[in-house]
Homo-oligomer: A and B are copies of this chain.
């Protein structure tokens, strides 16, 4: 059993600050012991310095050793046992079964990124051999590899205390790439963050990683995180959270003397399109399945379906009726924090007060910090003319937009902001209409789903959890799946380097062991 101290980790060293705050149990609205240190500017600087000091050694240690480190982290997370799940339950209000599932996902993600580090295709190894006799000029020996960017600042997200937090996807991909990380823990689950940090520290010691490869900063104000992004030693940022938060970090990063990339996953309403054939075939089933997706995790998923688009008519009415019935049967759920719950309630109120919108609101949740789902209906004309209807309400609220024509559906999609996902429900009868909408779906989202729901982000090779701005800060990337490693590397070309100065992976004797491109041809 690990005793929590509420301290930061600067590398393996614990460090405390004078100012403190407490975690809160949202189900009870009570503070949880122990007091948590509030990171100061000096703490931030020490963590960034430790990461910078570790950067070269950690990169040179090689992908295989880093993979061992990631595997060891996953073992030590499992080793935390019930302590981790219990603390997570207290701090987030999420059910234990869900947290156990999320732990499995987190551990699987670390193992997948370990395997990806070993796979090595992400290094983009390339050799163009010298052509000394080429006319009119000889060619040099040119070799390329992609190399870690350096220390990465990572921000834990509130809604996935394990999978998108201290040892979540951003951490796993940055560590796999060879970047030391400094994690700013989310203040909604500082205890979970400290527990995970101990697992990472143990794994780092066990596998002989340089100290400073990982640091953890606690705090419940913006200052520490902002100072971290501004620190010249930090070379990239991973963030999952609100649009406001992501935009603020983008601004700080762009204003630095040396700007750095920010990978911020910010907000989305994840439109779902219901085409006539699908509605005709299975409107009630769709309504039920929609509510299951909408209310998953109290609607606190980045991919929560906040918008439904379909032609007006009796089939859509049947869908809505089934959805409303399902909503009425949904048990109230505790939300992650009292401020998230307050925001949800005021978001629902704001929608309810708009002109030309019909609200289906079951009895308000009675328990502390709990939410009840909310379903709204409006027309495409109202929706297009009122930006307030398009705002993400974080939680189980969604708007059904009834369109008069297929052209109106397309026009509505055209005007939408960038999204993480867009889903479409269709049958063979809808094929030509679906095909016509496809280019718009591709333009607006990172993942498009046919006959399914957006919640449930598979951790695999083909996943894209990203999307055009403002869904994320950088639509060329994903924060889930093996492609996420690409965010944390940059290419370097070595021209005519003597073998003993080349990085080992680029030496003639080492290259055959790694997938690479020789004079343009791929060798596996």
Are A492 and B468 in contact, with the CB atoms below 8 A? Answer: no
Determine which of B56, B458, B477 lies in contact with A139 in the assembled complex, contact meaning CB atoms within 8 Å.
Answer: B458
A451 within 8 A of partner (CB): yes
Determine which of B143, B450, B473 lies in contact with A462 in the assembled complex, contact meaning CB atoms within 8 Å.
Answer: B143
Q: A407 to chain B: closest CB distance in Å?
A: 17
A144 within 8 A of partner (CB): yes
Q: Which residues of B contact A254 (CB under 8 A)?
A: 254
Q: Which residues of B contact A140 (CB under 8 A)?
A: 449, 452, 458
Which of A276-284, A395-403, A483-491 has 4 or more CB atoms under 8 Å from chain B? A483-491
Are A462 and B515 in contact, with the CB atoms below 8 A? Answer: no
A362 within 8 A of partner (CB): no
Are A442 and B522 in contact, with the CB atoms below 8 A? Answer: no
Are B498 and A450 in contact, with the CB atoms below 8 A? Answer: yes
A318 within 8 A of partner (CB): no
Q: Which residues of B contact A476 (CB under 8 A)?
A: 149, 261, 489-491
Name, among A121, A143, A458, the residue most crowded by chain B CB atoms within 10 Å (CB to CB): A458
Q: Which residues of B contact A434 (CB under 8 A)?
A: 501
Report the contact-size class of chain A (Cβ under 8 Å from the partner): 35 or more
Q: A398 to chain B: closest CB distance in Å?
A: 20
Are B431 and A501 in contact, with the CB atoms below 8 A? Answer: yes
Q: Which residues of B contact A127 (CB under 8 A)?
A: 462
A500 to B121, CA, bound (A): 30
A446 to B489, CA, bound (A): 12
Determine which of B452, B466, B520, B524 lies in contact with A496 in the assembled complex, contact meaning CB atoms within 8 Å.
Answer: B452
A45 to B258, CA, bound (A): 33
Closest to A448 in B: B494
Give A432-445 as 1s and 0s: 1 = Cβ < 8 Å from B's Cβ atoms.
Answer: 00110011001101
Are A124 and B458 in contact, with the CB atoms below 8 A? Answer: no
Determine which of B139, B418, B460, B500 lies in contact with A460 in the assembled complex, contact meaning CB atoms within 8 Å.
Answer: B139
Are B501 and A491 in contact, with the CB atoms below 8 A? Answer: no
Are A520 and B461 in contact, with the CB atoms below 8 A? Answer: yes
A-B contact pairs, 19 of them (CB 8 A): A56-B439, A121-B522, A126-B462, A128-B458, A128-B462, A137-B456, A144-B461, A261-B474, A261-B476, A446-B492, A447-B494, A447-B495, A448-B497, A450-B501, A451-B496, A452-B495, A461-B520, A466-B491, A477-B490
Q: Show the binding face of A for B, using Cβ within 8 Å.
A: 56, 101, 115, 119, 121, 124, 126-128, 136-137, 139-140, 142-144, 147, 149-150, 254, 258-259, 261, 418, 431, 434-435, 438-439, 442-443, 445-452, 456, 458, 460-464, 466, 468-470, 473-478, 482-483, 489-498, 500-501, 515, 517, 519-520, 522, 524
Q: A446-B490, A450-B495 known; 10 other A-B pairs, CB under 8 Å?
A: A128-B463, A142-B462, A149-B476, A258-B469, A434-B501, A445-B492, A446-B491, A461-B517, A464-B492, A478-B491
